[in-house]
Amino acid sequence: MALSKAQLPGTPQHFLECGIEDCDRNCEFYCNLCHTRLCKQCRDEHRRSPETKSHEVVLYQQRKRELPTEKCKIHPTKDIELLCNECLISFCSKCTATQAHRGHTFHDLESIYTEIFSHCQGTIAKIHEYFLPTTKDLQKEIDGDAKEIKIIMNIIRTSMKAEAESLKRLVDDIVSENMEEVNKTEQSLLEKLKSQVKSIEKYKAYLNDLDKKFHVNVCSFEPSKPFTAGDMQIQSIPETTKPLMPLFTAGKYSKADIAKLLGKLTFPNNNEEVRKVKPSKVKNLTSYQKRTSYQVIEDSKPISNVKQTLSLSSFVTEDRELTVPGVDEVYHMSLDRSGRLWVSNYVGNLVQTDLQGNRLKKIQTCRGYGYHTVTQDGDLIFTDFNKKVINKITLDNNITELIKKRDWRPISIHSSHINGDLLVGMLKGEEGKVTRYNKTGKEVQNIQRDKKGRGLYSRPHYITENINGDICTSDFIKKTVIVVNKSGRHRFSYTGHGSGFLPWGICTDVLGHVLVCDLENVHLLDQDGELLSLLFTLKQATCPISVCMDDENNLYVGQGNKTVKVFKYLLSMNTE
């Protein structure tokens, strides 16, 4: 069976349909015997049917890969499906009864194929998660060095001119010679960096070709032509060096030694520094046990020794849906440490429910958008836009005034999972800013303008924090997602995919992705603001307004009605 691109890693798709004829529901399960995709309803029918009730039905992510069809050379009407561990020959099931294989042990080729497929996925993920990003970082560093060279050379030129000004009539020739030396040195350094860039570009092309090769190998796997551990190796990243930056040594004003007076180019040392390449955090997935002519994965270890890693799944599945009583639309959500959900609508109804949608508490607050959050201690924090107050509700239901403002109105709030600080989106007239408070309510940071003095925000009505400390806000007036680092320096802005982008609820996940609603879909961005995917189809989410993640990496999507849908888009992978 040929594999579609949508089933391979690194190519997220919106959803996968059930494989039963005339059923267009989302696929969540898989029959390993029939090799059929199944939705919940079709899975239940599959289990009830006398013909298929004994079949092995698993979650789609845990499915066995269907072995590509190849006919047995001895029995042409039969498919190859087994491997003799003694003879190292693959054949059909009928061959097991022959005299040549009597007493031998056999291995299921479908299991081997599934294991090799998983290792290919791991290697492809390794390319995308480490080698390509690391190479991209190196290229950025080289580009930065080239810019630094130009800046330093300009400084040196200025210094030389200043030194020569008082002796200009006497030293014109020497200045000309020195300038020529500077230009040659600059050209030489830039040529060296250009050579490094070509080496990196060539390596990137190699990685992309290798990526395509693994996709092709997976899609066109032939049991009789396996690929070996050597095929899975990735060449090391080319070594690059940081250029030695010249210094300008000012001369002393003496007519007898004009050249010395005007100085010369020097380098601080004679050794170029080898660029540091960050170590890979991706588990090496190329350790195989060489039992046969196939490369077979080592036997699995007990579950207690297995760690869970996460990656983007190739599809989004709906886990459950709950209706929240007491709200007409789900404008914002906060999950507390007990797994209960706080939900608010625009008119200020703040409702706590369990994960079945049963209402536990209801508080009448001021209307707002992303105006509440739950702290590490389990306290609920919410803003009062009209009174310019930030309130805290403790676990024993006592409401206290935590922060009182005089000029600025708080409109959004987030409790940091890193250090417990409060990040608050503020508004005064047409101006916006983000203020950081510590746990006691003391103001410790204000973020309002970029390095050129321009205002970053107009109406930061939703706010969150990424795993690297980045502060991410959605600004309704600017129609932009604005991200600054923990020091308040602007990193990037995201204005959507196409026109008409209206960012609303925003959150981040454990992999550092940024997720933001635009009332039509949820945009999935990487940590640097690049769009990875639009997660949903119209069938899956209706007017998504708010988003949040739970501790099990489930995505909660609040909609323009009183419902919350829970999705899975991160795939757990077991590594030793």
The residue among 352, 397, 389, 398 whose CA lies nearest residue 371 is 389
Q: What is the pLDDT of residues 483-496, one digit of tens each?
A: 999 889 999 999 98
CA–CA distance, 519 with 515 (Å, rounded to integer):
13
The more confident residue out of 65 and 149 is 149
Q: What is the pLDDT of residues 355-389, one digit of tens each?
A: 888 899 898 888 888 999 999 888 899 999 989 99
The residue among 276, 407, 314 whose CA lies nearest residue 26 is 314
DSSP assigned state of 79: B
Q: What is the pLDDT of residues 53-74, one digit of tens each?
A: 889 888 887 777 777 778 888 8
Q: Identify whether the C-beta of residue 267 lies closer than 8 Å to the C-beta of residue 324.
A: no
Q: Which CATH class name applies to 329-570?
A: mainly beta
Token duo for residue 149: 């060279």
Residues 6+ apart with CB under 8 A from 261: 163, 167, 171, 251, 252, 253, 254
Helices 109-126, 168-219: crossing angle, 10 deg rounding: 170
The residue among 2, 120, 30 whose CA lies nearest residue 315 is 30
Output the pLDDT for position 557: 95
CA–CA distance, 183 with 154 (Å, rounded to integer):
10
What percent of the chain has a predicted confidence (pLDDT) above 90?
28
The residue among 397, 437, 403, 433 whose CA lies nearest residue 419 is 437
Residue 345 in this model has a pLDDT that exceeds 60: yes
Report the 10 Å Cβ neighbour count for 77. 8
Residue 300 in this model has a pLDDT that exceeds 70: no
Residue boundaries of the structural domains of the chain:
5-97, 109-297, 329-570
Element at 389 (helix H, strand E): strand 389-393
Q: Identify whether the C-beta of residue 222 lies closer than 8 Å to the C-beta of residue 67.
A: no
Beta strands in 287-408 (DSSP E): 288-289, 296-297, 307-323, 332-335, 341-344, 349-353, 359-364, 372-374, 380-384, 389-393, 399-404
Task: State pTM to two decimals.
Answer: 0.50
DSSP assigned state of 220: T
Element at 465 (helix H, strand E): strand 460-465
Residues 6+ apart with CB under 8 A from 233: 286
Q: φ and ψ at 142, to 5 degrees?
A: -65, -45
Token duo for residue 197: 């860039």
- Please report which confidence band the pLDDT of residue 13 belongs to, taking 50, 70 and 90 as the band edges: very low
